[in-house]
Amino acid sequence: MPLVGIDDITRNAPAGVGAFNVILLEHAEAIVSGAEAAGAPVVLQISENAVRYHGALAPIAAASLAVAQAAAVPVAVHLDHATDRALVEEAVRLGLGSVMFDASALDDAANVAATADVAAWCHERGVWVEAELGEIGGKDGVHAPGVRTRPHEAAGYVTRTGVDALAVAVGSSHAMTTRDAALDLALIAEIHAAVPVPLVLHGSSGVPDETIRAAVRHGMKKINIATHLNKAFTDAVRDYLAVNPSAVDSRTYVRHGRDAVAREVTHLLGVLAG
């Protein structure tokens, strides 16, 4: 199936859109396999941290694009949490159709100026841009999980920057390994009413299934999940090695991690469908 853009997926999806982070080739394979089992579109995300892990964007981007193009369901490949303008430009050259530019650590004026400049550059090249207003709690310990986005500020930020989607702080927190985050559903509805672009929930790994469903009903569109899948992958590998301590062929245990991620993606896409 031809590669698609997030804009097509978000515009056509009746409910929430699952966006899952890729670290290894096996993550991309698992996410697409899980989406195919669910019969749902999906977004493969490559973060700046994953690029740093590989030492370059090109290898993991090429692998993700190849997996996406061979999929039986619509798949978009997206650059996630890029703080480096040069990385954004490289992603566009490599064929990624969307980017998340993260200037949230800057003060408001600098954030707006940098994000508006990136958005204008990307739009000239047909690339969709997500941004973040304020930093979602938990990432690098910068803000407490209690930080919240104000609806009128979110609307003004979108107007001033021209971004296509906005990640907002409503109670989730990055890198959670427990699923007990409490979201402010009323605030989600208020922001949704005020902001004319799709809303993105970062830190969704810590959000229980029923709360994810409620968040989508109240106006969240793109749901980002990374840590939860990493936990499923690692737990499956750990369990296999505990039973098979003499295993040395990485394919024998990595396969179990890949299969666990695929199952969880299928489940989560079902949750997002309502």
36 in Cβ contact with 71 (< 8 Å): yes
Higher pLDDT, 224 or 173: 224
Q: Is residue 128 part of a domain?
A: yes
- pLDDT above 60 for 15: yes
What number of other Cβ atoms are within 10 A of residue 154's Cβ?
23
Say if 1 falls within a structural domain.
Answer: no
How confident is residue 137, by pLDDT bands cut at 50, 70 and 90?
A: very low
Q: What is the pLDDT of residue 124?
A: 98
Annotated catalytic residue 184 = no
The stretch 255-263 carries a mean pLDDT of: 98
Of 113-127, 190-204, 229-243, which gets the smallest average pLDDT? 190-204
- Tell if the pTM clears 0.85, that is, is over it: yes
pLDDT at 73: 97
Q: Which of 34-38, 49-53, 158-162, 212-216 has the lowest mean pLDDT?
A: 212-216
Identify the burial level of 150 via C-beta atoms within 10 angstroms of its C-beta, where 0-12 means exposed, 13-18 middle and 19 or more buried: middle
Enclosing domain of residue 172: 6-272
Q: Reply yes or no on whether the pLDDT at 143 is more than 60.
A: no
Lowest-pLDDT choice from 88-97, 105-114, 248-257: 105-114
Q: What backbone phi and psi angles, to 5 degrees, belong to 189?
A: -65, -40
**Mean pLDDT, rounded, for 144-162:** 85
Mean pLDDT of the 73-100 span: 97
Residue 12 — pLDDT band, cuts 50, 70, 90?
confident
Whether the pLDDT of residue 89 is over 50: the answer is yes
Q: How many CB atoms are located within 10 Å of the residue 43 CB?
A: 28
Q: Is the pLDDT of residue 175 over 60?
A: no
Which one is catalytic: 7, 8, 80, 259? Answer: 80
Q: Percentage of the chain surpassing pLDDT 90?
A: 75
229 in any annotated domain:
yes
Quote the mean pLDDT of the chain: 90
Buried b / exposed e across 199-220, counting CB within 10 Å, b at 16+?
Answer: bbbbbbbbbeeebbbebbebbb
More confident residue, 150 or 263: 263
Number of domains forming the structure of the chain: 1
- The pLDDT score that the predictor gives to residue 106 is 86
**CATH code where residue 93 lies:** 3.20.20.70
Q: Rounded CA gap, 35 and 57, in Å?
A: 24
Query: Is 201 inside any structural domain?
Result: yes
Give the residue with greater pLDDT, 205 vs 129. Answer: 129
Q: Cα separation of 68 and 44, whole Å? A: 8
Residue 148 domain-assigned (yes or no) = yes
C-alpha to C-alpha distance for 260 and 258, rounded to whole angstroms = 5
Q: Give a yes or no: residue 64 inside a domain.
A: yes
Domain-embedded: residue 145: yes
Task: Tell me what pLDDT residue 104 has.
Answer: 81
Please indicate, yes or no, if residue 116 is contained in any of the structural domains. yes
